[in-house]
């Protein structure tokens, strides 16, 4: 009988999500027959950190509805399994959850053994970096745009997601406001049911940089289902995903934070901004533990970046000094950090390099 492995070491293992002891015993037996051990999670909260990277996900009928409520992302090679008659209720949620198969035991036991026996190691999912302002006007959108431009110039297929309905618009930051392509309102109308490759092709893009932003004539909140579909498509089809989030977290922003490998909060070096950022940080950390701060100058009261970070209680990811050239470039429709020079570009290079290096370290673990 294979071990119930709480932490993955070596090759990635199939993930079993169930709290039903009888079902778990059967699945462990079938996995052993397929020649593999498995990771086990009793619920979607425990499953989330391993969900995207597992070569196969087997969800017990007892947890199918809970996984749907938790908005776990759609992914390939996901199966719902259960005994008759309990499995019958799972058919109602299988399509919305994105399961490829619903397997009834004991009839499907030989088929499930074959699935466990398959040695398929999926490509590493794209890395998600969220950006949020510590107060209004902190420069989060400029930082997000610069990170996306830098990731693309570094050779990474990149998606830039504008998730702030009342922001100025990342299409303006990039100078793409006139480009054709799908915007949030059109995606929201699909109810989140999209084909991942088709979605990425339909968005405004230039080279390996793809943008999802808001329409100029319509201010609508982002439905959580549309955000979930976007993150699912991006993690399968992009190397890096940069998400610009609102300070008032809605359901879509919360989903993006939960999916983020790291969140960067940008804070002006001012006393009131630091106080406001402390409140934002407390909310963000409820959904993403890996949170760091970038401090932006000038500092009217001569606050140092390390003092700001220490006051907020976050690690310092970097600091920025004023760059008049960035404001001039934005007025001309040129994306920030597009020339690869200056403090902002150097900071973005380092943040993207760290993000990708963390991915490589996880894959090697």
Mean pLDDT by 10 residues, the chain (365 residues): 38 90 96 93 90 89 92 86 89 87 94 87 81 95 97 96 91 93 85 73 94 84 84 87 95 91 96 96 94 94 95 96 86 90 96 83 49
Helix axis angle, 224-237 relative to 251-259, nearest 10°? 30
Give CA–CA dist 337/330, Å, rounded: 10
Pick from 147, 146, 149: which is nearest to 128 by CA?
147
Give CA–CA dist 238/209, Å, rounded: 9
∠ CA(238), CA(242), CA(245), 5° rounding? 140
Q: Which two tokens stand for residue 328?
A: 């001039």
Pairing of strands 262-268, 291-296: parallel
Residues 6 or more apart from 282 whose CB is under 8 A from it? none
Phi/psi region, residue 209 (left: phi>0; alpha: psi -120 to 50; beta: rest), is beta
Residue 192: per-residue pLDDT: 61
Q: Which two tokens stand for residue 320?
A: 């920025």
Sheet holding 209-212, edge to edge: 205-206, 209-212, 158-162, 240-245, 127-133, 262-268, 291-296, 316-320
Q: Is the peptide bond before 237 cis (omega within 30 degrees of 0)?
A: no
Burial label for 309, CB within 10 Å (0-12, 13-18, 19+), is buried
For the chain, the first-to-last Cα distance in angstroms comes to 24
How far are the Cα atoms of 146, 202, 208, 239, 334 from residue 152, in angstroms, in the given order?
10, 18, 6, 9, 15
Backbone angles phi, psi at 282, to 5 degrees: -60, -40
Pairing of strands 57-60, 78-83: parallel
């Amino acid at each position: 009988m294979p071990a119930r492995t709480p932490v993955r070491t070596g090759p990635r293992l199939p993930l079993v999500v169930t709290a039903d002891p009888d079902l778990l015993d059967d699945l462990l037996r079938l996995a052993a027959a397929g020649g593999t051990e498995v990771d086990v999670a009793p619920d979607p909260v425990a499953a989330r950190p391993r969900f995207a990277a597992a070569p196969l996900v087997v969800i017990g009928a007892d947890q199918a509805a809970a996984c749907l409520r938790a908005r776990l992302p759609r992914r390939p090679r996901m199966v719902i399994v259960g005994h008759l008659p309990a499995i019958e209720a799972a058919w109602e949620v299988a399509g919305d959850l994105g399961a490829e198969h619903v397997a009834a035991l004991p009839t499907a036991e030989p088929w499930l053994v074959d699935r466990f026996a398959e040695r398929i190691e999926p490509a590493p999912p794209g890395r998600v970096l969220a950006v949020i302002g510590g107060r209004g006007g902190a420069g989060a959108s400029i930082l997000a745009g610069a990170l996306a431009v830098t990731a693309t110039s570094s050779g990474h297929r990149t998606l830039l997601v504008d998730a702030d309905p009342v922001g100025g618009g990342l299409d303006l930051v990039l100078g793409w406001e006139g480009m054709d392509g799908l915007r949030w309102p059109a995606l929201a109308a699909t109810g989140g049911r999209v084909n991942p490759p088709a979605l990425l092709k339909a968005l405004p893009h230039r080279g390996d940089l793809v943008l999802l932003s808001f329409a100029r004539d319509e201010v609508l909140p982002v439905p959580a289902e549309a955000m979930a579909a976007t993150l699912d498509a991006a993690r399968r089809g992009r190397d890096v995903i940069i998400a610009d989030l609102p300070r008032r977290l809605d359901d879509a922003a919360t989903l993006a934070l939960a999916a983020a490998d790291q969140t960067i909060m940008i804070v002006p070096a001012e006393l009131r901004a630091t106080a406001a950022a402390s409140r934002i940080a407390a909310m963000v950390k409820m959904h993403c533990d890996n949170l760091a701060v970038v401090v932006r100058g000038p500092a009217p009261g001569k606050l140092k970046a390390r003092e700001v970070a220490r006051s907020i209680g976050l690690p310092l990811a970097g600091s920025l000094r004023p760059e008049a050239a960035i404001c001039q470039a934005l007025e001309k429709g040129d994306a920030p950090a597009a020339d690869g020079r200056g403090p902002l570009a150097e900071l973005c290079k380092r943040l993207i390099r760290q993000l990708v290096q963390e991915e490589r370290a996880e894959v090697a673990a």
